[in-house]
Amino acid sequence: MAPKGGLYACDDPTYWRAVLNLYQEAVAAKAGRRKNLIALDKWYQEELPTAVVGRKVKYLTKPELVKLMEWKLSRGKFRPRLQQLVATNSDETVEKCTKEAFQLLPDVAAAVSELSKLKAVGPATASAILAAGAPEVAPFMADEAAESIPGLTPIQYTLKHYLLYLDRIRSCVEKLNKADAATTWTPHGVELCLWAWAVAEKLQLPSLQALGTERAKASSGDQTDEPRKRRKTE
């Protein structure tokens, strides 16, 4: 049984953690014949953040930006023109612009505006850059994640819309961190959960359906135990 109102409305951090554990399965299912998505996603989620954070000053190189665009287009809507256009940015411009953007944080609006000076980089791609180097501040505006939040459809690839998305994600982070002593939630972590849940639901992955069944049983068990507890008290 899916949470009423979707994952975003769910207050149970245990369920959120279980959904996060389905992320790799959702990526593999989304990849289908595009097997390079699995390798690209591993690079984006693990290798790129390590590289960016490991630098004295955070920035992306041009090859990293080009590969990030390849990841984004493989994971979402494929637009070959964007892949070609992003490669026309010079090495110097990419490093300078991304360095300045990270230094502007936590002013996310200013950072996104700075990154949008790069060719082929709009708010969504800018958010992917920021999420890679500052996951505790910015989530990637993935279509599936944004569409799973009430009131954010249709998606508009504008700074204004991204800031609305960011505000909703931050509210969710605050909610989960208040309820969860086992996990420290970040905007990027919440975004990954929303993406995994949306993809798993759309593709009807058995693992997500099993989570729903377990959740329904647990909820039913709580309800049946309550009268017993009351009888004992009485």
Name the least confident of 26-30, 160-164, 180-184, 192-196: 180-184
Calpha distance 85→57 (Å, rounded):
26
Calpha distance 190→133 (Å, rounded):
16
The pLDDT value recorded for residue 221 is 56
Q: Please enumerate, as own/partner, the contacts of 4-11 that have beta carbons within 8 Å and a separation of 24 or more.
A: 5/150, 6/148, 6/150, 6/197, 7/148, 7/193, 7/194, 7/197, 7/198, 8/148, 8/149, 8/150, 8/168, 8/172, 8/194, 9/150, 11/175, 11/179
**107: Cβ contacts below 8 Å, ≥ 6 apart:** none
* Contact between residue 59 and residue 102 where contact means Cβ atoms under 8 Å apart: yes
Mean pLDDT, residues 225-233: 41
Does residue 125 surpass a pLDDT of 60? yes
The pLDDT value recorded for residue 98 is 98
Does residue 185 surpass a pLDDT of 50? yes
Does residue 220 surpass a pLDDT of 80? no
Averaged pLDDT of the chain: 90
Does residue 34 surpass a pLDDT of 80? no
Does residue 213 surpass a pLDDT of 80? no
Residue 107: how many other CB atoms lie within 10 Å: 13
Does residue 47 surpass a pLDDT of 60? yes
What's the pLDDT band for 233 if we cut at 50, 70, 90? Answer: very low
Say what percent of the chain tops pLDDT 90: 79
How far is C-alpha 108 from the chain's CA centre? Answer: 16
C-alpha dist (Å) from residue 221 to 2, 5, 214, 215: 17, 22, 10, 10
Which residue type is seen at 194?
L
Higher pLDDT, 33 or 36: 36
Does residue 211 surpass a pLDDT of 90? no
Name the least confident of 19-33, 48-62, 132-146: 19-33
* Contact between residue 188 and residue 140 where contact means Cβ atoms under 8 Å apart: yes
What's the pLDDT band for 178 if we cut at 50, 70, 90? Answer: very high
The pLDDT value recorded for residue 234 is 34
- For the chain, the residue count is 234
Does residue 12 surpass a pLDDT of 70? yes
The pLDDT value recorded for residue 212 is 67
The pLDDT value recorded for residue 79 is 81
At 82 the three-state DSSP class reads helix
Does residue 51 surpass a pLDDT of 70? yes
pLDDT digits (tens, 9 = 90+) for 56-101: 999 999 999 999 999 999 998 878 889 999 999 999 999 999 999 9
Mean pLDDT, residues 22-42: 92
